[in-house]
Amino acid sequence: MQPQHPYFQDRDHPQQESHTCRQAWQIQSRLIAQRLFDQALRQSWLARFFDALCRRSSALATLEDQPITSMASSNLPGVQSIRLHQIIGSEGRSHDFDRHFAPLHEHIRERWVSLAALRSEGHSLPPVELIRAGNAYYVLDGHHRISVAHAFGDETIEAYVSVWEMEPQTAGVWRTTMLHTH
């Protein structure tokens, strides 16, 4: 008896066929994610170039740079849907992403591509953790997820939100600072 072609063998064993299809889909999702990362990385390089020509910063804002002297903190209940354009900065990882959350370096590729591949396969990603200071949001945890959401063209992201209330005189100074940096 001659050995059958692998395609026909799989059809005789539905579980094997299902496993083969799942593997093919995962490979396809990973390739899509790799292309998205490459595209986002190129876009960040171009954006940095044009920002330099226009003499403006392409850096992601940092919460540490804001003149917050005194604050009280509270958490919003449950998961909130936050518009991506309201997320303007980071609590600590501003060196890996630009102000549009595009990746800046190759060393974040693996994590970024893994999340994008999961997203491409239809999996939902866990909510990010944000800090709201004034009308702006800063990332505490979830930089890669926000970057992937931007790459997929999302307008919102699910998040757990901590609210930092600022003193009235500080809030006015902070808001003025934010308007002049963007």
**CATH code (residue 62):** 3.90.1530.10
118 falls within a domain:
yes
Residue 148: the pLDDT is 97
Q: From CA 181, how far away is CA 152, in angstroms rounded?
A: 26
Does residue 4 carry a pLDDT above 70?
no
- pLDDT number for residue 45: 72
Q: How far is CA 77 from CA 114, 160, 161, 166, in A?
A: 29, 8, 8, 20
In this structure, is residue 31 part of a structural domain? no
Segment among 43-47, 127-131, 133-137, 157-161 with least mean pLDDT: 43-47
**Is 95 a member of any domain?**
yes
Question: Does a structural domain hold residue 140?
Answer: yes
Residue 43 lies in a domain: no
- Residue 80: pLDDT band by 50, 70, 90 thresholds? very high
Is residue 83 one of the residues assigned to a domain? yes
State whether the Cα torsion 62-125-29-6 is positive or negative. Answer: positive
- Structural domains in the chain (count): 1
Is the pLDDT assigned to residue 141 strictly greater than 80? yes
**pLDDT tens profile 34-57:** 898 888 887 877 777 766 677 776
Residue 14 lies in a domain: no
Q: Is the pLDDT of residue 142 over 80?
A: yes
Given this model, what pLDDT does residue 22 score? 67
Average pLDDT estimate for 127-142: 92
The pLDDT value recorded for residue 50 is: 67
Query: pLDDT-based confidence at 154, cuts 50/70/90?
Result: very high
Tell me if 59 is assigned to some domain. Answer: yes
Q: Is the pLDDT of residue 125 over 90?
A: yes
Would the pLDDT of 64 be above 90?
Answer: no
This prediction's pTM:
0.71
Q: Residue 93: which domain range?
A: 48-181
